[in-house]
Amino acid sequence: MKAISAKIAVTLILIALLGPILGGCSSGKVYTKTRFLMDTKVDLVLYGLPAGQAESAAEEIFKEMGRLENVLSRYVPGSDVNRINAAAGRVPVEVQPETIAVVQKALEIARLSGGAFDPTVGPLLEVWGWGAGDPAVPAAQDIIDVLPLVGYQSVEIDVHRSTVFLPLPDMKMDLGGIAKGFIVDRGQALAKELSCSASYINAGGDINIEGRKPDGKDWRIAIQDPRDPQEWAAIIPLQGGSVATSGDYQRSFKENGEVFHHILDPHQGMPATGLRSATVVAPDAMAADALATAVFVLGRKDGLKLLESLDGIEGVVIDLGGEIHASSGLVSKIEIPSS
């Protein structure tokens, strides 16, 4: 596998986009809107609609994305995932079709990755304090105590009854590593239904692009250096599709001089080691989202091996030494800016 020496780079941005947006807003052919959803900033860009129609379309898209967040977030009281967790060890829970679809895909990627991505990682996230209060390093025994509750193999889905069941008390499902991608995909599908000639959605680094740029050129996705927001390490040209990244910089805290991030190895209960970031290019953001987590946990060798085994999926990882390693389908396409 080819390795390209470069700066550490982890955050996804869309480049060569702001110019067309800022230059075209007054014409009504390009419409931009930002909303805070899913605990992140969501950028929406719609091409090819009159101003009034674009504004209505944006509101409809954001409304649908907000509805799905209320279905799929475990932190929303009464959401499907919240109810699944509350009923763990007792009864199956009837859920929306969207929840069935996301859980099915989550279990598929869990199987493909050997559990590197696991939607039942909720108890581990809680013991580390992620999502509920200030995170802190838990006692080793606390991690040992909850590890038996993490196991995607135990999840039971009844498609005909539209139910999901966690068989062990205190099991907890967390779809945070896949639901955001699904919600972005649904927003993009709605944009297409509303006759946008092209559209772009970025929810905190989960990106879905539909259609060609008005000038006919490729979209260009840059992997940015987090230590210098003005620089990037590599550029991925795309005609469309989805990109997502997982990185050790996104959510972290320092304790006793050591930095701990939020991407946990479901087998060990500790933050995954070996990579600074994993970026996945896929046809849909749901797959890209979950696979980016899986690849990050697996590390360079096994993560790229997973990507190579999947049709239509590519990726770029940055190791702890700052080297970029690309899957075979991207190695000749990614661009490395001159320093």
- Residue with token string 């661009």: 335
Among 45-54, 217-226, 288-297, name the one with the lowest average pLDDT. 217-226
Under DSSP, is residue 271 helix (H, G, I), strand (E, B) or coil? strand
Can you tell me which residue has the tokens 């992620």?
Answer: 130
Domain 1-14+217-339 of CATH type 3.10.520.10? yes
Under the banding of pLDDT at 50, 70 and 90, the label for residue 6 is very low
- Burial, 52: exposed, middle or buried (Cβ in 10 Å; 0-12, 13-18, 19+)? exposed
Same fold, 1-14+217-339 and 17-73+176-212: yes
Give the integer Cα–Cα distance in Å for 18 and 222: 14
- CATH code matching the domain that covers 91-165, chosen among 3.80.30.20, 3.90.870.10, 1.10.3980.10, 2.60.40.1120: 1.10.3980.10
Total-model pTM: 0.90
pLDDT at 34: 97
In this predicted structure, the answer to whether residue 7 has a pLDDT above a threshold of 80 is no
Q: Which CA distances in Å does 328 have to 175, 222, 271, 314?
A: 29, 18, 28, 8
Answer for the pair 325, 3: CB distance below 8 angstroms, yes or no. yes
Q: Could you give the CA distance from residue 45 to residue 43 in angstroms, rounded to a whole number?
A: 7
For residue 169, give the nearest of 271, 109, 254, 84 by alpha carbon.
84
Query: What average pLDDT does the segment 284-309 reach?
Result: 98
Bridge partner list, 15 = 220
Mean pLDDT of the chain: 88
- Tell me: the pLDDT tens digits for 242-293? 999 998 877 888 899 998 999 999 999 999 998 989 999 999 999 999 999 9
Q: Pick the residue with more confidence: 285 or 9?
A: 285
Whole-angstrom distance, CA of residue 190 vs CA of residue 63: 11
CA distance 117 to 268: 12
The fraction of the chain above a pLDDT of 70, given in percent, is: 89
pLDDT value of residue 168: 98
More confident residue, 227 or 29: 29
**Model confidence over 149-168: pLDDT tens digits?**
999 999 999 999 999 999 99
Per-residue pLDDT of 76-93, as tens digits, reads: 999 999 999 999 999 999
**How much is the average pLDDT of 84-110?**
98
- Among residues 290, 252, 284, which one has the least CA distance to residue 271? 252
pLDDT of residue 4: 34
**Domain residue limits, the chain:** 1-14+217-339, 17-73+176-212, 91-165
Q: Are 59 and 34 in contact (CB under 8 A)?
A: no
Q: Answer yes or no: are the C-beta atoms of 101 and 80 closer than 8 Å.
A: no
Tell the CATH superfamily of the 17-73+176-212 domain.
ApbE-like domains (3.10.520.10)
